[in-house]
A and B are shown apart, each in its own frame.
Chain A
């Protein structure tokens, strides 16, 4: 294999005689890219593969087991809406996990923030934008507190957030009041998970997303290629564009079907929560991959000492990661509030956090830090939502639901740990 690649490089790159880097040239072939990917898998970096396999396998499994109910537009739209609070919470956790830290309090922080939102809307009667901003600000302030305890005081994040996990449940209880459930009827908040983007606008959004993605990818490929930088083969870029476009249009088409059970009602379109998640995905992906801050998050997670010596303010990065985690937890809480149209005293407790951590890890984010992407939260969150939704359709006893979800998280964590070991031994 290596002799092939060598001759290919010699044949294709006579214009740069002295330099090495033959890989930067021969990777331009599909064969080279495929080999590179296989090597990556063998070195233990599975990327999105487990999550995509999970979505496909679980999808087929539940379709076979519940052919009448699982693969219907109504159920799939429910599934997507169910997944959004998990995904957003997991997106925040990705930032913390990238540093090799953990935020066990993210779930209950989402509960505190939704309690703040609900009481501001219901008791104080403020307009929804103010309530939303207050909820997110609450999350950010909590993040500063948590991040300072971890980054400045130096308490392990596991202990800090375990303590806060307990403490914040008390705070939610205090805000909501004993035994009470605060119903949220504010139309805009309710609409997030319960109303749909008009079908035409949904299609326009889908086209805009697909076309901008294609344009961006092609432009990047073009500029990398013309400047002689490392780049993927065009075929792969196009294949990825086609795949993304297919998913975007497929989901849009599915959600544009009238899925109302009663003929008199018109129920079609993408739930508002879905484009919100897409926007968050784009923004966070941008932050992680195109900004200095994102680069420094990876650096601190990969080698904190190296980052410190490179002049990176490691404490600041740690605090900011917790601020992002808690702020996204607040948004997750708002989505959950919208879905339930109410806030309960135990909001965000129970399995909320477990689901989100599971989502991030299944999606490919490492618990050991340094590896992860915003999209991991989306893919893993879908896997978790499919499990929860499918088990619900099967009418599985509640205890089994807990056992199975816990088992899936353990499985994902095992894959992560084994991948890490493989990566360590793969080094020559």
Chain B
């Protein structure tokens, strides 16, 4: 909380990159998401917090098009959109970095960043232009820890792998980047690197959704915090309006003083 004022922009005046209204999602008899409202703003890191089973994974998979929603509306940059598959999401500029990173160990950094969307000249792979673009993207994100962009991913540390996965998401002129617990398995120094990178993602104009269980990370890097409780959004507020205790209460009970769900909201 060293300098919260700098981060407290007035995002409500801006148009959200992604806007969810009344989103519901069930798997069979189990309703996982209830009437979810969520706004994600460009240049802003939104921390998505919630206990295990609160619906964080389902929510991001819905946004990624992997689990299409049952009802409710999704607006992307003000336009209503249908997200019926990962390709729909990718076309809009939504990129998800999953916890397992989805990198191929036997390919190098450039090859991984362009996997599935290789640049070609005729039938040939255009290695030169891919290498340049990969290097540009990494440089833009001020990534200094990689020795070579032609290093095999198998030789990278956990933090470097996370970095490559994030850079891969950024390469595609993405507007919204969703990060699923990017610091979960990292040491102190590597967590630092990744948090810096998350901050730079937002500073370069991306809307960032950042899933984490770590309160230190939330207050370190987030501009807004959205807390999920049993599939409902308990709060979606600027980070300056809450403190750590309140966020933990929102996660564990869905309420904290004036904030959070009305007591009767959980009855149904």
B128 near A299 (CB under 8 angstroms)? no
Which listed residue (A22, A302, A306, A309) contacts B147, Cβ 8 A? Answer: A22
Known: A19-B135, A21-B148, A23-B147. A311 touches B116 (CB 8 A): yes
* Complex Cα spacing A361 to B151, Å: 24
A311 near B87 (CB under 8 angstroms)? yes
* Complex Cα spacing A310 to B95, Å: 11
Interface size counted on chain A using CB atoms at 8 A: 37
Which listed residue (B98, B107, B127, B142) contacts A299, Cβ 8 A? Answer: B107
Minimum Cβ distance to chain A for residue B262 (Å): 39
Interface with A: B118-126, B210-218, B235-243, B244-252, which one?
A: B118-126
A224 near B128 (CB under 8 angstroms)? yes
List, in ascending order, chain A residues with CB within 8 A of B1's CB. none
Q: Is the interface of B mostly helix, strand, loop or mixed?
A: loop
A371 near B106 (CB under 8 angstroms)? yes
Known: A21-B149, A298-B104, A306-B103. A227 touches B132 (CB 8 A): yes
* Complex Cα spacing A24 to B139, Å: 14
A303 near B131 (CB under 8 angstroms)? no
* Complex Cα spacing A302 to B236, Å: 40
List, in ascending order, chain B residues with CB within 8 A of A298's CB. 104, 106-107, 111
A291 near B123 (CB under 8 angstroms)? yes
List, in ascending order, chain B residues with CB within 8 A of A224's CB. 128
User: Which residue of A is nearest B124, CB measured?
Assistant: A290
Chain A 52-80, CB-CB to B under 8 Å as 1, else 0, gives 00000000000000000000000000000
Minimum Cβ distance to chain A for residue B160 (Å): 9
Is A229 at the interface (CB under 8 A from chain B)?
Answer: yes
Is B102 at the interface (CB under 8 A from chain A)?
Answer: yes
Chain A 415-428, CB-CB to B under 8 Å as 1, else 0, gives 00000000100111
List, in ascending order, chain B residues with CB within 8 A of A310's CB. 102, 115-117
User: Which residue of B is nearest A299, CB measured?
Assistant: B104
B128 near A19 (CB under 8 angstroms)? no
Known: A21-B149, A229-B132. A292 touches B139 (CB 8 A): no
Minimum Cβ distance to chain B for residue A287 (Å): 10
List residues 1-37 of chain A with CB under 8 A from any CB of chain B.
18-24, 27
Minimum Cβ distance to chain B for residue A232 (Å): 10
Minimum Cβ distance to chain A for residue B110 (Å): 9
List, in ascending order, chain A residues with CB within 8 A of B150's CB. 24, 230
Residue with the greatest number of chain B CB neighbours at <10 A, chosen from A23, A307, A310, A427 = A310
List, in ascending order, chain A residues with CB within 8 A of B127's CB. 229
List residues 83-105 of chain B with CB under 8 A from any CB of chain A.
86-87, 90, 98, 100-105
* Complex Cα spacing A290 to B126, Å: 8
List, in ascending order, chain A residues with CB within 8 A of B149's CB. 21, 24, 230
A370 near B116 (CB under 8 angstroms)? no
List, in ascending order, chain A residues with CB within 8 A of B107's CB. 295, 298-299, 302
List residues 122-165 of chain B with CB under 8 A from any CB of chain A.
123-125, 127-128, 131-132, 135, 138-139, 142-151, 154-157
List residues 54-83 of chain B with CB under 8 A from any CB of chain A.
none
Which listed residue (A19, A227, A291, A301) contacts B139, Cβ 8 A? Answer: A19
User: Which residue of B is nearest A306, CB measured?
Assistant: B102
Is A244 at the interface (CB under 8 A from chain B)?
Answer: no
User: Which residue of A is nearest B159, CB measured?
Assistant: A428
Residue with the greatest number of chain A CB neighbours at <10 A, chosen from B87, B118, B157 = B118
Chain A 333-368, CB-CB to B under 8 Å as 1, else 0, gives 000000000000000000000000000000000000
User: Which residue of A is nearest B98, CB measured?
Assistant: A309
* Complex Cα spacing A311 to B87, Å: 8
* Complex Cα spacing A43 to B149, Å: 18
B151 near A292 (CB under 8 angstroms)? no
Residue with the greatest number of chain A CB neighbours at <10 A, chosen from B115, B118, B120, B127 = B115
Task: Supply 17 A–B pairs (Cβ within 8 Å), ascending by A.
Answer: A19-B138, A19-B139, A19-B144, A21-B147, A21-B148, A23-B146, A23-B147, A43-B154, A227-B128, A291-B124, A298-B104, A306-B102, A309-B102, A310-B116, A311-B86, A427-B154, A427-B157
What residues make up the interface of B, taking CB atoms closer than 8 Å to A?
A: 86-87, 90, 98, 100-107, 111, 115-118, 120, 123-125, 127-128, 131-132, 135, 138-139, 142-151, 154-157
Query: 7 tightest CB-CB pairs across the interface, nearest first?
Result: A310-B116, A23-B147, A302-B104, A23-B148, A302-B106, A370-B106, A20-B144
12 new A-B contacts, CB < 8 A, other than A295-B118, A306-B104, A307-B104, are A21-B146, A43-B154, A227-B128, A229-B131, A230-B148, A291-B123, A291-B124, A292-B125, A302-B104, A302-B106, A310-B117, A427-B154
